[in-house]
């Protein structure tokens, strides 16, 4: 399959080029040239497939001709050694738990698939692949873990000293091996400026393949399609007919993947875009006006995005038709207060503990089921483990929560980060040194 730029449909590149460059030269976003349509026979088989097999069968449509089946089977089983279980909260509301990967958030799916694709696509190059990532926390840990131990690739994660949470720092800076964590004396924008300069540095490009593995890479979107099918397949058969899926959204990669799944033939009646106070997209759905603005801080911090990059992909999917888009997406924004109350109320009534992002998803889902359509079955995406936001969640429920083993283990490990001045020569030195 070829991929085009949202800014120029005539530009067509291979998956390899789309993945290794990340972004088209015209600064659009890559999109698959056709959305594959699944046959009813295929859909009938979906409930019998374990996640890895389903991932393989769906990925084939997108890697078509560029990766052999044998290699693709190995790739998906290596990328996804964890599950995405569907957990009932009531007889018509389910949580799709996407936090069973190494960094306890759904970004593991995208980061692990992308890293292995990149490794495959650079296998026969004589140059080493260097991934440079600037992070204010969450993305860095998913990417660092995604590339950890992947042969032929070295990762440099730059984060601002003192400006990331303890859990985030431990998740990025205790790995070692091919992951080099650089603790920069500066702010996030300094880290980003260093990465941008390195990506444009001709001298570095002579010796290495340099990539940024950024969040808009199409390789991060593709694997997110898989778990929408997997969620539907886990529903009892009688509840698969009319389904609503609620997606707590920030940069809208996750929702975009769901919309692609629907176009491929997944029987979802409607999607809910559940937002926090950063409500640019719900506002667009209501008014047909898109008005990006600076983000505001909330307790569902991974959704604090004021100008979501993937919105252009959604516009593209609907041919820029507001009318077509609102047929498939209903959106609403919620305050931190409502999110806190929802976390408290849910654990009291059902025993289920949501993280702040999942709670926003649940708020949107319940409002939809109560006021728009009370005949549907609802699934909300639980995008992170509540322990990832331990201080916030404990304050809300007034109780300590325990950490999953993979997190407590990493908290006990020593930090291996290398302090670095906010200085390009210093960064260049680190990247070109061959340990
Ligand atoms: C990144 C993130 C989101 C937002 O996902 P998008 O694809 O950017 O919309 C939601 N929840 C958590 C926990 C995240 O890390």
DSSP 14-80: -HHHHHHH-S-TTS--EEESS-----HHHHHHGGGS-HHHHHHHHHHHHHTTTS-HHHHHHHHHHH-
Q: How far is the CA of 97 from the centre of ligand 1 (A)?
A: 13
Q: Is 305 exposed, middle or buried (0-12, 13-18, 19+ CB in 10 A)?
A: buried
Residues 6+ apart with CB under 8 A from 10: 4
Q: What are phi and psi of 135, to 5 degrees?
A: -145, 150
pLDDT of residue 21: 87
- Choose from 23-27, 82-86, 191-195, 431-435 the range with maximum mean pLDDT: 82-86
**List of domains in the chain:** 73-102+219-397 (3.40.50.1100)
pLDDT higher than 80, residue 435: no
Q: Point out the ligand 1 atom lying closest to the alpha carbon of residue 253.
A: 7
pLDDT of residue 199: 87
Q: How far is the CA of 435 from the centre of ligand 1 (A)?
A: 34
pLDDT of residue 263: 97
Q: What is the pLDDT of residues 326-358, one digit of tens each?
A: 999 999 999 999 999 999 999 999 999 999 999
Q: What is the CA radius of gyration of the chain?
A: 21
Q: What is the pLDDT of residues 354-392, one digit of tens each?
A: 999 999 999 999 999 999 999 999 999 999 999 999 999
The full DSSP string for 288-345 is S----------SSGGG--SS-TTHHHHHHHTTT-HHHHHHHEEEEE--HHHHHHHHHH
Tell me the best of 223, 274, 303 to mutate to test the pocket of ligand 1, counting ligand atoms within 8 Å of each CB and taking the most. Answer: 303
Can you tell me the distance from the alpha carbon of 153 to that of 121, in angstroms, rounded to the nearest whole number? 11
In this structure, the residues whose C-beta lies within 6 A of any atom of ligand 1 are 105, 107, 138, 248-254, 302-303, 357, 383-384
For the chain, the straight-line distance linking the first and the last C-alpha, in angstroms and rounded, comes to 38
Q: How far is the CA of 393 from the centre of ligand 1 (A)?
A: 17
122: helix, strand or coil: coil
- Mean pLDDT in residue range 210-217: 85
Annotate 392-402 with b (16+ C-beta within 10 A) or e (fewer): bbeebbeeeee
Going by alpha carbons, the residue nearest to atom 15 of ligand 1 is 302
Q: What are phi and psi of 132, to 5 degrees?
A: -115, 125
Q: How far is the CA of 69 from the centre of ligand 1 (A)?
A: 31
Q: Point out the ligand 1 atom lying closest to the alpha carbon of residue 358.
A: 11
Between 212 and 409, the more confident residue is: 409
Can you tell me the distance from the alpha carbon of 395 to that of 392, in angstroms, rounded to the nearest whole number? 5
Tell me the best of 103, 104, 105 to mutate to test the pocket of ligand 1, counting ligand atoms within 8 Å of each CB and taking the most. Answer: 105
The tokens 């291979």 sit on which residue? 14
pLDDT higher than 80, residue 314: yes
In the predicted model, what is the mean pLDDT of the chain?
Answer: 94
Q: How far is the CA of 225 from the centre of ligand 1 (A)?
A: 15
- Cβ neighbours of 380 (radius 10 Å): 28
Q: What is the pLDDT of residues 163-212, one digit of tens each?
A: 888 888 999 999 999 999 999 999 888 998 899 899 889 999 888 988 88
For the chain, the farthest-separated pair of C-alpha atoms sits apart, in whole angstroms, at 62
- Cβ neighbours of 41 (radius 10 Å): 7
């Amino acid at each position: 399959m070829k991929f085009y730029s949202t800014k120029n449909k005539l530009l067509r590149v291979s998956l390899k080029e789309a993945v290794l460059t990340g972004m088209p030269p015209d600064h659009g976003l890559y999109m698959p040239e056709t959305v594959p349509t699944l046959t009813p026979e295929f859909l009938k088989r979906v409930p019998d497939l374990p996640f890895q097999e389903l991932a393989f069968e769906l990925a084939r449509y997108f890697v078509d001709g560029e990766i052999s089946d044998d290699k693709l089977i190995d790739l998906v089983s290596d990328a996804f050694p964890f599950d995405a279980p569907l957990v009932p909260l009531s007889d018509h509301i389910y949580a799709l738990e996407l936090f069973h990967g190494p960094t306890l958030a759904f970004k593991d799916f995208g980061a692990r698939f992308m890293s292995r694709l990149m490794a495959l696509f650079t296998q026969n190059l004589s140059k080493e692949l260097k991934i440079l990532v600037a992070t204010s926390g969450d993305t860095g840990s998913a990417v660092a873990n995604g590339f950890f131990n992947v042969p032929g690739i070295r990762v440099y994660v730059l984060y601002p000293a003192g400006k990331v949470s303890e859990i985030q720092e431990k998740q990025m800076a205790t790995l070692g091996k091919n992951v080099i964590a650089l603790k920069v004396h500066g702010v996030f924008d300094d880290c980003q400026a260093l990465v941008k300069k390195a990506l444009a540095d001709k001298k570095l490009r002579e010796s290495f393949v340099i990539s940024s593995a950024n969040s808009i890479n199409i390789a991060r979107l593709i694997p997110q399609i898989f778990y929408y099918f997997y969620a539907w397949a886990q529903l009892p058969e009688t509840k698969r007919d009319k389904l609503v899926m609620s997606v707590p959204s920030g940069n809208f990669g996750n929702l975009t993947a769901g919309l692609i799944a629907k176009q491929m033939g997944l029987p979802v009646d409607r999607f809910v875009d559940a937002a926090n106070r950063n409500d640019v997209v719900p506002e667009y759905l209501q008014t047909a006006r898109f008005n990006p603005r600076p983000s505001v801080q909330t307790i569902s911090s991974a959704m604090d995005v004021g100008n979501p990059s993937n919105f252009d992909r959604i516009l593209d999917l609907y041919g820029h038709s507001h009318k077509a888009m609102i047929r498939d997406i209903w959106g609403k924004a919620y305050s931190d207060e409502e999110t806190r109350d929802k976390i408290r109320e849910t654990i009291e009534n059902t025993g289920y503990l949501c993280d702040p992002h999942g709670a926003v998803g649940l708020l949107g889902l319940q409002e939809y089921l109560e006021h728009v359509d009370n005949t549907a079955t609802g699934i909300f995406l639980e995008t992170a483990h509540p322990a990832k936001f331990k201080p916030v969640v404990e304050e809300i429920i007034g109780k300590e929560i325990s950490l999953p083993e993979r997190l407590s283990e990493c908290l006990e490990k020593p930090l291996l980060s290398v302090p670095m001045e906010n200085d390009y020569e210093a960064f260049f030195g680190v990247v070109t040194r061959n340990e």
